[in-house]
Structures are given as structure tokens and as C-alpha cells.
Amino acid sequence: MALERRKSSRRLLDPVDRVTEVLFGLIMVLTSTNTLSVATAGGAEIGTMIIGALGCNLAWGIIDAALYVMGCLNERGRELLMLRALRQPVSPEEAGRLIAENLPESLASVLSPNDAEAMRQKLVRLPEPPPRPGLTRDDARSAAGICLLVFVSTFPVVIPFLFIGEVRPALRLSNAVAIAMMFACGYVFARYTGLRGWPTGLLMVAIGCAMVGVAIVLGG
């Protein structure tokens, strides 16, 4: 819903959005670090891997931010279409359907015809909406935040390669850091969704590792 998007924009992404962006960045960087050959990799290969991981996450951060902006425009456009439709002569049943389509399912299921009509009257009395959907400064800040989260999530995973000369221990520490971050993502996700913390954290680690494996196998 547009209301949810606006709330998210004011807070520069809610905690669950932040978790998903960090998890996405972790999966992308692990796809790069775990394709490094332990037996043959040297300094040049490690440097190339680090630059590639940073560049890949920056590119995907920009793409994800662009998709976020498109989502904002889509939701605001749907809201404008609903408002314009409600301003036209419509039956109470049609008005109720239009309003229910833009509400969460739990709220739409208890929306009575009288409630829908009261909402329609209030929406009709609103000022004339703009001719087309637009973006706000908060949208730009949230998009930049998305890009930054995906990009910054790369650094903790690649730092071991900068300070440990041998590839094998560096890779082990890198993977340990990534697993800890995945677990933290799952724990925070559980906190804001009503799930149990430790099981959700472990499940997030399993899902993240499985996604990394799929990406590596499929050449991602």
C-alpha cells in the first residue's frame, strides 16, 4: 500500500526492509568469495575478487534502488487511479470493491458497506489529486539507503582477505562473518514478525547458504 510505502520512506526503510537488503548483499558477495580457488588463488586473484565483489554489489544496489523507485511510482499511480475512480459516479458495491483492493486483506475482510461508503465520502472530499504520480525527497533518500546497504554489506565479508595473507583461513573467517550476519538478519526479522529468534536466525542462515549455492551452481 502507498501508506506503507510512505511510512517506510519516512523511516528510511523499516527494519524488515533493511534485513532483506543486507541479506541480498551478503548473498551477492558470498557468490564471489566462495568461487575463489583455495589452492591456486594468489594476491592478484584476491584483489580481482574483492574489486569484483564491490562492483557487483554496487551495481545490484543501484538496480535494487531503481526497482524501489519504480515500486513507489506503481503504488502512487494505483492510488491515484483509485481516487479518480471513486470521484466518478459509482455504485456503493463498486466503491467498496475499489477501497477493499487497496487495504490489507485482514482489514478488507471486515469492511462493511457503510464503512466503505464513509471512507469514499472522505476520499472524495480530499483536494484534487495530482495528474500523475511523482517522487519525493524521502523516496530518493530511501533509494540511496537501499543502494548503500547492499554495497556496505560487502565490506565485513571481504575484510578478512585484506588482512590475512593465506586464502584458506581468510575464506573461513569471511564465511564465519557472513554466517553471523545472516543469523543476525534472521534474529531481527523474527523480532519484527513475531517469530522465534534463534530458530529464525538459523533458518535464515540455511536459506542464505542455499541461495549462495544455487547462485554459484548456476553461474551467478
* 202 contact partners, CB below 8 Å, separation of at least 6: 183, 186
For residue 188, the model assigns a pLDDT of 95
For residue 9, the model assigns a pLDDT of 43
Mean pLDDT of 40-48: 75
Q: Which letter does DSSP use for residue 129 in this model?
A: P
pTM above 0.75, yes or no: yes
All three cell numbers of 215: 547462485
For residue 2, the model assigns a pLDDT of 37
Q: What is the pLDDT of residues 164-218, one digit of tens each?
A: 878 889 999 999 999 999 999 999 999 999 999 999 999 999 999 999 999 888 8
User: Distance (Å, rounded) from C-alpha 167 to C-alpha 24?
Assistant: 24
For residue 135, the model assigns a pLDDT of 92
The band of 39, judged by pLDDT with boundaries at 50, 70 and 90, is: very low
All three cell numbers of 34: 566462495
- What angle, 0 to 180 degrees and rounded to 10, lies between the N-to-C axes of helices 197-217 and 167-193? 130
Which is nearest to 215 in space by CA: 2, 13, 52, 30?
30
Q: What is the pLDDT of residues 79-120, one digit of tens each?
A: 898 888 888 877 888 888 888 888 888 888 888 888 888 888
Domain ranges of the chain: 2-217
For residue 71, the model assigns a pLDDT of 93
- CB-count exposure of residue 144 (10 Å: 0-12, 13-18, 19+): middle
User: Distance (Å, rounded) from C-alpha 129 to C-alpha 34?
Assistant: 51
Neighbours of 194 (CB within 10 A): 6
How far the first Cα of the chain sits from its last, in Å, is: 32
- Measure the CA dihedral 104/106/112/115, to 10°: -50
The band of 161, judged by pLDDT with boundaries at 50, 70 and 90, is: very high
Greater pLDDT, 51 or 124: 51
For residue 220, the model assigns a pLDDT of 57
